[in-house]
A and B are shown apart, each in its own frame.
Chain A
């Protein structure tokens, strides 16, 4: 199998605080992980591509200083939403690509609500 987990599954925070979301590949090594954002009733939009041991590549319009991505190991990538504001409230989903494959396996998502 190819299982990807995310933690936490949901988080509520106050405006101005930072929130860290973890994405783990549980039974495989992921050379590349992707972070998506999904607003209600909308599609998934790619935020950034994260390769182990290197800086993430951000999509146009995504602020790299606001959405900090760290991919320190082959099984873990983290997304930190810094100084979160209500407009950052969304469903954040990661995916992981198994080494040698081009198939992305998706995590269950993290729902962020910023008050």
Chain B
């Protein structure tokens, strides 16, 4: 099935650093979502974006819905140890089609 391209694939950063990752698609989506998955668990929704150009924050997390509707990025400021995990973007067409297409994931590791 289709997957969204996410970059970078993995990141190794020090605690306190800011993080930026992005997600691109060859087709448009009407909703962009960002999830975090811890090992052995299901994904947890971080931020949902519903409008092209929208910039939304959730604490230290900020995400934007690209104006072309084909991309989105997620920023994490002042990273802390509990930010470790895998981050997935997901696109949704909506309007009766609720299927999610997931990105390839970005694995975040924080170096002590």
Please give the residue numbers on chain A whose beta carbons come within 8 Å of chain B beta carbons, in ascending order. Answer: 4, 6, 32, 34, 42-46, 49, 59-61, 91, 93, 95, 97, 102-109, 111
Contacts of B1 in A (CB 8 A): 45-46, 59-61
Given A97-B98, A109-B40, A111-B40; A103-B103 close (CB under 8 Å): no
Instruction: State the main secondary structure of chain B at its contact with A.
Output: strand
Enumerate chain A residues within 8 angstroms of B65, measured Cβ to Cβ: none
Are the CB atoms of B40 and A44 closer together than 8 Å? no
Instruction: Please measure, in the bound complex, the distance between the C-alpha atom of A108 and the C-alpha atom of B56, giving whole angstroms.
Output: 26
B3 touches A93 (CB 8 A): no
**A44, B99: Cβ atoms under 8 Å?**
no
User: Least Cβ distance of B29 to chain A in Å?
Assistant: 12
User: Knowing A46-B1, A109-B42 touch, does A104 contact B102 (C-beta < 8 A)?
Assistant: no
The 5 A-B residue pairs with the shortest CB-CB distance, nearest first, are A106-B42, A43-B102, A44-B102, A109-B42, A108-B42
**What is the bound-complex CA distance between A105 and B44, given in angstroms?**
8
B16 sits at the interface (CB 8 A): no
Contact yes or no, A104 B40, CB < 8 A: no
